[in-house]
A and B are shown apart, each in its own frame.
Chain A
Amino acid sequence: MNAKVKAGAVGDLPRRLQAPGPRYGEKVIHVLLALCGLLSVLTTTAIVISLIGPTIGFFEVVPGDEFFFGVDWTPQFEPPSFGVLAIVAGTLNVALWAMLFAIPVGLGAAIYLSEYATPRVRKTVKPVLEILAGIPTVAIGIFAVSFILPELIQPIWPGDLHGGAEKPFMAGAAALGIGLMVVPIIASISEDAMSAVPRGLREGAYAMGATKMKVATRVVFPAALSGIVASVVLAISRAVGETMIVLIAGGSQPNATLWFNEAIQAMTAYIGVTATGDIAAGSIDYKSVFAVGTVLFLMTLTMNLISIRLVRRFREVYE
């Protein structure tokens, strides 16, 4: 038994305490596990390689200034026009209105759960919010078209600003659907950040006579700010990358507008309707999917890196 003992400092151990063999099995396992970790890096590499080739091919045909500064996205016309701003605007439109809904609701829920709720309420409400995060986006998209639009938006605002006919699709309906989808993200990450603020800070403020509201807004909120901003950035990234909700509820009209009550097409929705099975590899439509995908990937990558850095900061400060 003793002969099998292995310790950290092997050098000066008596011989009977050293490992009996070189233990190749342990090394094989180490390598296998490292390969599993490496696979994630390979995934990113594969994504980048997949995107770059056809994107370069796209820019051999379509000039860069038409793509980056054009506001007409009409690939099906003759001659086609590839002004990506039209669908970037669609994405930003939806993300903007989604955040106007999700930030107050998500942060409100987070502050409530972390500062006001009794432990019992928190124990029931948190899992229910997590259930919201598990609802498939197809279901949310259908909900947006068949409930949010006819029951919530159209009674107040049927068509254009000055009345007008009822519209079957509105960016606002898709936006509220996406907002609903990202509320749990904002709520749960922000709540984690606020719960990580040491009790001492709160108690100090209470001892000075602060109300709960003052403690929440002037002590806990600033102390947890990096985590809160991280949650919002991540939520924006999710909103920008969401496909099914905008595909179902946004309409399919590229439209360079940030208005709530217009039909739009988001970048993800363009990819989703264009790149379905029967698209011919090598055609300009096929390449345009990858060009749009590259723009989308770079946008979300930037936001994800910001969010990752911010989360790390609040972890470093308090944990």
Chain B
Amino acid sequence: MGSLSSERARLAGAGARATVAASLGGQPRRDVWLNAIFASLLLLAVMVALAALAALLIQAFVKGAPALSPDLFTNVPSTLNPDKAGFRPAILGSLQLIAGVILFVVPVGIGAAIYLEEYADSSRWWNRVVEVNIQNLAAVPSIIYGILGLAFIVRGPLDLGFILVSGSLTLALLVLPLVIIASREAIRAVPSSIREGSLALGATKWQTIRTQVLPASIPGIATGVILAVSRALGEAAPLLLVGATVFVTFDPTPFSEDGFSAMPVQIFQYFQRPQDEFQTLAAAGVIVMLVVLLAMNSFAIWLRNRYEQTW
């Protein structure tokens, strides 16, 4: 049915075009040629981007495949013996870091988004400052957050020391703006008629938000949180500054002063070693990270497309 009517539309379009071309002389030959060249250049641009992505994935898999084994997840790092070295402390470190990030950014990020969308009067200058400020924070270099972590969280006012929680807080501040921006968009997409209906039935503002606005915007918020968490998981630069560079051969704990490690930092450190075996190990680590991150990102994108509501 659908294909028949679209076929009919296509035929009608072609007929109309032919009639116009016959009576008006059609488009100049040169323009038609230029258009074809332009279109192929654009296609080339897309192909370059896709080919680069494919090359990156293939290269990582080819290079890291020899070192892929279950031992990768259970062995601890070693400076001497690359065959027995693995990522166990780094994986545990990353998991704990991410748990901390989620605990922090979910309430605070959604809270800030609700405030900005539902409560803040955007004609007030301070609310506009908050808005621009968040947009800027989303694009502040991650290494600057590392400096913040070093000078403000590890030392300075909070003075937590080089512990895993410091790293977690640093990463949380880094991705907080992303969660706020995504949550705001999800909340904004809920039509105001839903809110008005709820208010008209006697619900208070908070009841309306809790029972109507938030449930309707959960898929968008979840997508934003997953993308933000995957960004935090892949981020290495700020962790270099807050202490994740120690040689860790034990299972890290949140408050231990002995140091902690994380996947991307461990990969970086293996890659810096001159021996080929360590480079292979680094590539294997990249595979593990890519699999986890691609799974998370695909899930987020699927979630967004699946539950995207048009009101």
Smallest CB separation, B200 vs chain A (Å):
8
Cα distance A307–B136 when bound, in Å?
9
Q: How large is the interface on A (under 10, 10 to 19, 20 to 34, 35 or more residues)?
A: 35 or more
A9 at interface by CB-CB < 8 Å: no
A290 and B108 contact, Cβ closer than 8 Å, known pairs A50-B152, A112-B42, A237-B139: no
Contact between chains at A40 and B133 (CB < 8 Å): yes
Contact with A along B191-219 (1 / 0, CB 8 A): 00000000100101110000000000000
Residues of A within 8 A of B176 (CB): 39-40, 43
Q: Which residue of B lies closest to A147 (CB)?
A: B59
Q: Does B160 contact A (CB under 8 A)?
A: no
Asked if residues A108 and B146 are in contact (CB atoms below 8 Å), the reply is: no
Total number of B residues with any Cβ neighbor in A under 8 Å: 99
Of the listed stretches B30-38, B66-74, B75-83, chain A binds B30-38
Of A67-75, A128-136, A194-202, which binds chain B?
Answer: A128-136
Which residues from A are CB-within-8-Å of B298? 127, 131
Chain A residues numbered 1-43 whose CB sits less than 8 Å from any CB in chain B: 1-2, 4-6, 23, 25-26, 29-30, 32-41, 43
In this complex, which of B115, B137, B176, B243 has the most chain A Cβ atoms within 10 angstroms of its Cβ? Answer: B115
A138 in contact (CB, < 8 A): yes
Chain B residues, Cβ within 8 Å of A34 = 115, 119-120
- Name A's interface SS: helix
Considering the chains assembled together, what is the distance between the CA atoms of A64 and B108 in angstroms?
41
Q: Select which of B34, B41, B56, B111 is within 8 A of A140 by beta carbon.
A: B56
Give Cα A289 to B119, complex, Å: 40
Bound-state Cα–Cα, A29 to B214, Å: 15
The binding surface of chain B is classed by DSSP as: helix
Are the CB atoms of A268 and B143 closer together than 8 Å?
A: yes
B240 within 8 A of A: yes
Q: Which B residues form the contact surface with A (CB < 8 A)?
A: 24, 27, 31-32, 34-35, 38-39, 41-46, 48-50, 52-53, 55-56, 59-60, 63, 107-109, 111-112, 114-116, 119-120, 129-130, 132-137, 139-148, 150-152, 155-157, 162, 173, 176-177, 180, 199, 202, 204-206, 227, 230-231, 233-237, 240-241, 243, 245-246, 259, 264, 267-268, 271, 279, 282-283, 286, 289-290, 293-294, 296-298, 301, 305
If A112-B46, A138-B236, A180-B56 are given as contacts, then 8 extra A-B residue pairs at C-beta distance below 8 Å, sorted by A number, are: A36-B112, A125-B50, A135-B53, A140-B56, A142-B286, A187-B49, A237-B139, A290-B147
A-B contacts, 14 of them at CB < 8 A, read A44-B136, A46-B157, A105-B48, A127-B298, A132-B53, A136-B236, A139-B290, A243-B141, A272-B240, A275-B146, A275-B150, A276-B245, A290-B151, A307-B139
